[in-house]
Amino acid sequence: MPATLEYNLNQLLRDGSSHLLTQLQHGIEKEGLRVNASGRLAQTEHPKGLGSALTHSEITTDYSEALLEFITPVFQDNREMLNHLNDLHRFSYEMLNDELIWCASMPCDISGEDEIPIAYYGKSNVGRMKHVYRVGLQNRYGKMMQTIAGIHYNFSLPEQLWPAYQRICNDSGTMQNFRSASYFRMIRNFRRFSWLLLYLFGASPALSKSFMGNKQHNLDTLAEDTLFQPWATSLRMSDLGYSNKVQSSLNICFNRLNTYTNSLLMAIRTPHPSYEKLGVKVDGEYHQLNANILQIENEYYSDIRPKRVTESGEKPIHALLSRGVQYIEVRNTDINPLLPTGISIEQSNFLDAFLVTCLFCNDAELSDLECNLIAENHQRIVTRGREPGLTLLSDEGEQSRESLGMAILDQIERTASVLDEAHNTQRYTASVALQREKIKHPELTPSAQVLESLRDSGGSYQQWVTQLSQQHKNTLLSEPLEAGLKARLITEAQTSLLEQASIEAADTLSFDAFLDQYNKS
């Protein structure tokens, strides 16, 4: 890794292209459950003041009608991106009356799945398809898993950088192919080193006892209503969170675009016996979109995805195949309940340096053996990440978490120094320095701080997160929303409702015919 990274960074500096790193592109998708003032899951509809969940570009819902999702536009300046995320929270709070936005990844106390309303998107065919897809998730995985919330960090390099980087790599192929191959290099290295992100930023070491229901588990009891693991970093990213036996058997290959799309296409076109037994349409009611291993591409739970903006009616996988990778989506980021909107500028700065490092370092493909190593390191970190003396697997055998972490940070610091030079700042190297302290002192990690604060409050996850959510609401509303932005968001909400009505009025196909056409495309 070091030699390749050093070479690429030096070449960028020599040919004068390093200034293009000031034009990195960012966007955030952040989920959050709506709860009432007591911290119980909201049973109300998506507020009309927030517009249509089907057509609004910045405020929608994810699995549940109560699971808000904020989607920022693309920003060059990550500080502006986070400011806008704050503003979306402020605007939403003005429309939520007494409701709160749950400020943690693991959900509130939920007595049973009947309390979880599936998101509704209206009467149009596309709206019904989104709803039926979620019904399928319920029947395949259960509703409880779908109440977990997270932050997705969307990231891309500026278009002007690619020709310079292609020259550095002495690549003579098409720009589209080079760009896609480079993003897959980033993805492969992300998977190699993403354990470090889970250690540094994981913030879900505890959860409500109700989340486990009657399932067997090896969690400890912190309070009557609270379970935890003492050294865990991210239970959200453990087998307790996004896990499924069918998906774990998939061999989705992240080495190249064609291996990735081919393995995904096979999964979305291959029926699975248990889903065939479930049935697609039973007694006039849809139980799922189809009986395939994956109903659609997005059902595959990966901690990182290659992405491209789709055209109207286009499947994401077809967009990738026809026009290549446009950006990547990092999906392993917990919501930090100690922060008003769950993520800080220091974390964003570090993510930028981390991802640029992943692009410019080792180009080796992932073997099956290395994929197994990655999976084992992931499991150790999410469940035992702060455990004293923890070791991780490497090409050279077992090594300490500290030595492996510091070695990765050494490389990221080199990238950070180039980013600082380009931006005329010190904020990127400062973000790396903060992470070094977490390696040296595990008690500084968010997961340790969450447990400390939780214990100090009395140990009840439900009460602690509810109180924090109320504090964050007060903090956000203490700074008024800029009048022009508020007016724009009100207008967009109203316009989105009209757009939904227009889509519903324009449908000519029956839903059966629409879905059949979609499944065959």
Distance CA 466, CA 337 (A): 10
Supply φ then ψ for residue 409, to 5 degrees.
-65, -30
Q: Which residues of the chain have pLDDT under 50?
A: 1
Query: Diameter of the chain by CA atoms?
Result: 68
Q: What is the pLDDT of residue 253?
A: 86
Q: What is the pLDDT of residue 243?
A: 57
Distance CA 384, CA 390 (A): 8
Q: What is the pLDDT of residue 2?
A: 53
Q: What is the pLDDT of residue 521?
A: 85
CA angle centred on 166, ends 161 and 168, rounded to 5°: 100
Q: Which two tokens stand for residue 50?
A: 């927030």
CA 366, chain centre distance (Å)? 22
Distance CA 224, CA 499 (A): 47
Distance CA 20, CA 250 (A): 38
Domain range spanning residue 249?
2-520
Predicted model pTM: 0.97
DSSP result, 231-251: T-SBGGGSTTSS--HHHHT--
Are residues 298 and 320 in contact, defined by beta-carbon separation less than 8 angstroms? no
Q: What is the pLDDT of residue 1?
A: 46
Residues 6+ apart with CB under 8 A from 174: none
Are residues 227 and 212 in contact, defined by beta-carbon separation less than 8 angstroms? yes
Residues 6+ apart with CB under 8 A from 198: 233, 234, 237, 332, 378, 381, 382, 385
Find the CATH number of the domain harbouring 269.
Answer: 3.30.590.20
Q: What is the pLDDT of residue 246?
A: 59
* HEC per residue, 409-468: HHHHHHHHHHHHHHHCCCHHHHHHHHHHHHHHCHHHCHHHHHHHHHHHHCCCHHHHHHHH
Question: What total of structural domains would you count in the chain?
Answer: 1
Q: What is the pLDDT of residue 312?
A: 85
Q: What is the pLDDT of residue 45?
A: 97
Q: What is the pLDDT of residue 37?
A: 96
